[in-house]
A and B are shown apart, each in its own frame.
Chain A
Amino acid sequence: MWNNIYNWLDERLGLNDMYTNLLDRPEPKTTWWNTLGSASMFLFIMQGITGIFLTVYYTPSPDHAYDSVQYIMEGVAFGWLIRGIHHWGATLMVILVFVHMLRVYYTASFKYPRELTWLIGIGLFLTTLGMGFTGYLLPWNQKAFWATTVGTQIAGTVPFLGEFILKSLRGGPELSALTLQRFFSAHIWIIPAILVALMGVHLYLIIKHGESHFPTKED
């Protein structure tokens, strides 16, 4: 019976084709270094899931942000686990994405016809850093507050546009409730939306072109 249901769905959805093209596609001889992109995506999904769970209790307001994070850590069952995964997953994701980028560079996998995959990958690296930067402020503790003060101040040193950029990031000349709110919005809506869109194109290009061979001596 399950076979019948599966066949019915497969005829309409093309499940077998999807499986073949996504998970069973031909690969050159690969090493563990080729798994870093998938690992980054896995981490992104984990960050998405744990992040959604964190918003159940987190409040992006200067009055409550710190207390709500304390409540997640101490008051809610397994809050420490959810936040712990999100916290360490963020660090690990930045590292993995960066090492993934190094691997692509050293194996020259960015060359024709994969230049666009590389460029979009740079976008993914930058959005990952953006996630880290905006997420860092949300606990609203001393470290978060001053790290964001410094980070936005650095952005403010851009010639001519600096002050405008600084005010845009902070939502005003100083760090305030507006800063926390817009960083929260950027962290859970704007940057993830960009990241997911870029990731979709990145994956499409990888499936279209396949993995690159490692260069040989002749190359």
Chain B
Amino acid sequence: MSGSHEISRRDFIKVTTGIVGGLIGAVIGLPAVYYLIDPALQEGGKDSWIPIGKFEDMQIGVPYPFSFTRVQVNGWERTASSFGGYAIRKSDSPEDLLILNSRCTHLACTVNWSAEASGFLCPCHDAKFSIEGAVLDGPPPRALDIYEEHRITDDGLIEIFFKES
């Protein structure tokens, strides 16, 4: 036992303890991180067509409010989330509908249509949106979101395409 390859008992124990400890740490630590962030990695998102109202009930130029609830299974519990918006009919054609999401683009409060202000008002931070959804006043960074896809059924129901996030 001589020369440059010599290693003392103490150093051997130290190195071995370090390696074994590191292995145990990695075997527990990496799965533990995965365990923590797992819900963030779940693919969400069933999509479906959701009826929001009859086309004939919608008057031209008057925002038609609608709301719906989606039930999602989060972990061990079913959670109901509410969504809503306004359909604005522009002409006789069912294609010619603007369907706005009533979720404020600032901090996600719900905006309400006000006929006297002729705009959508947000109660949280005094935001105001036009009937087209454009920002007129207040802090929102962009116009109201739009439900892009909609269709009309044979019964005259308007349905929007909704994808869970």
- Tell me the A residues contacting B by CB distance below 8 Å: 46, 49-50, 53, 56-57, 59, 64, 67-68, 70-71, 75-79, 81-82, 85
Contacts and interface: CB of A to CB of B under 8 A. Distances in A.
Given A75-B76, A76-B38, 14 more contacts: A53-B32, A53-B35, A59-B76, A64-B76, A70-B76, A71-B76, A75-B75, A76-B35, A77-B31, A77-B35, A77-B41, A82-B31, A82-B35, A85-B28
Contact of A53 (B36, B39, B75, B77): B36
Interface of B: 28, 31-32, 34-36, 38-39, 41, 75-77
B76 A78 contact: no
A212 B36 CA distance: 43
B28 A79 contact: no
B27 to A, nearest CB: 9
A210 to B, nearest CB: 19
A160 B97 CA distance: 78
Contacts of A57: 75
B42 to A, nearest CB: 9
B78 to A, nearest CB: 11
Contacts of A68: 75-76
Nearest to A82: B35
A56 B32 CA distance: 11
B75 A79 contact: no
B75 A78 contact: no
B77 A78 contact: no
Contacts of A56: 35-36
A71 B36 CA distance: 13
A71 B31 CA distance: 16
A53 B67 CA distance: 38
Contacts of A50: 28
A87 to B, nearest CB: 14
Contacts of B28: 46, 49-50, 85
B30 to A, nearest CB: 9
B76 A82 contact: no
Given A81-B31, A82-B32, A71 B75 contact: yes
Contacts of A67: 76-77
Nearest to B27: A81
Q: Which 7 A-B pairs have the closest CB atoms?
A: A67-B76, A78-B31, A77-B38, A71-B76, A78-B35, A77-B34, A68-B76
Nearest to B31: A78
Contacts of B35: 53, 56, 76-79, 81-82
A71 B35 CA distance: 12
A77 B36 CA distance: 8
Nearest to B29: A49
A139 to B, nearest CB: 13
A71 B39 CA distance: 11
Nearest to B10: A24
Contacts of B41: 77
A103 to B, nearest CB: 22
Nearest to B21: A42
Nearest to A79: B35
A68 B77 CA distance: 9
Contacts of A82: 31-32, 35
Contacts of B39: 76
Contacts of B77: 64, 67
Nearest to B76: A67
Contacts of A81: 31, 35
23 contacts: A46-B28, A56-B36, A57-B75, A59-B76, A64-B76, A64-B77, A67-B77, A68-B75, A75-B75, A75-B76, A76-B35, A76-B39, A77-B31, A77-B34, A77-B38, A78-B31, A78-B32, A78-B35, A78-B38, A79-B35, A81-B35, A82-B31, A82-B32
